Amino acid sequence: MKKEILQNMASYFDHSIVKADATKKEIIQFCEEAKKYGFATVAIDTSYVDLVRENLKGSNVKICSNSGYPLGANTTDVKVYETRRCAEMGVDELDTVMNIGYFMDGDYDYVIADLKAIVDEFKSHGEDKVVKVIIETAIIGNERIKQAVECAVAAGADFVKTSSGYGGGGAKLEDVIAMTKAADGRIQVKASGGIRTLEDAYKYIDAGAVRLGGTGGVRITEAANTELERNYSV
């Protein structure tokens, strides 16, 4: 099992560059790395979608962008518009942040309706479109993870994701374990943030994550390749 994970390590990664000072040069470099290693997606903010689409042309790497990011506090109609524009620009996978404040208030009906509007809009442009709901585990706490997962499932999302990178912390192993347990095969799990080493990546995958996010994909994939050569070469 570990050999198979090592062989496919790159395919677990969304190669993410979502920061205020990202430059075109950096984003193009991320595209080149994604093509070289075979990452699942390049994740960028919406103003760079056209640039990424041009630089990923002819590859199997998908485009990931966002709606209601990073706070999740926009009105639903604004999120739906962002979602529609992403789909029109050729985005394959969408990250969206659930409305954390409404969730903490216990207004789960609002949270679900908000997310469902986004999911329905994105998938109206193709059933192969993928939506990941960010639940900000560092904010909501481990004890609320089950309810957050239920909201994402009820909305029809494909993934539940730990963190945006702007919500006070990244993935923790105990949170991913709780997400996987709550998901119970109904929705996939993504761990994002703070995944810096091959051992980190393996622990999260072993805990149930089928997608990883962050900037460490190159380093971790190279470490996986080194371990394959050292321990599994004929």
* Residues near 180 by beta carbon (within 8 Å), at least 6 away in sequence: 189, 207, 208, 209
Encode pLDDT of 33-51 as tens digits: 999 999 999 999 999 999 9
Residue 111: helix, strand or coil by DSSP? helix
More confident position, 1 or 137: 137
> Could you give the CA distance from residue 117 to residue 14 in angstroms, rounded to a whole number?
24
CATH number of 2-232: 3.20.20.70
Show me where the domains of the chain are located: 2-232
Q: What is the pLDDT of residue 158?
A: 99
Q: Is 190 one of the annotated active-site residues of the chain?
A: yes
Contact (Cβ atoms closer than 8 angstroms) between residue 66 and residue 18: yes
Max Cα separation, the chain?
57
160 pLDDT higher than 90: yes
* Local confidence band at 11 (pLDDT 50, 70, 90 cut-offs): very high
| Single pTM value for the model | 0.96
Encode pLDDT of 46-74 as tens digits: 999 999 999 999 999 999 999 999 999 99
Q: Which of 79, 123, 190, 200 is catalytic?
A: 190
1 pLDDT higher than 70: no
Q: Which of 35, 123, 161, 172 is catalytic?
A: 161
Percent of the chain with pLDDT over 70: 99
Q: Which of 95, 114, 158, 175 is catalytic?
A: 95
Q: Which residues pair with 160 in a beta bridge?
A: 133, 189
Q: What is the pLDDT of residue 183?
A: 99
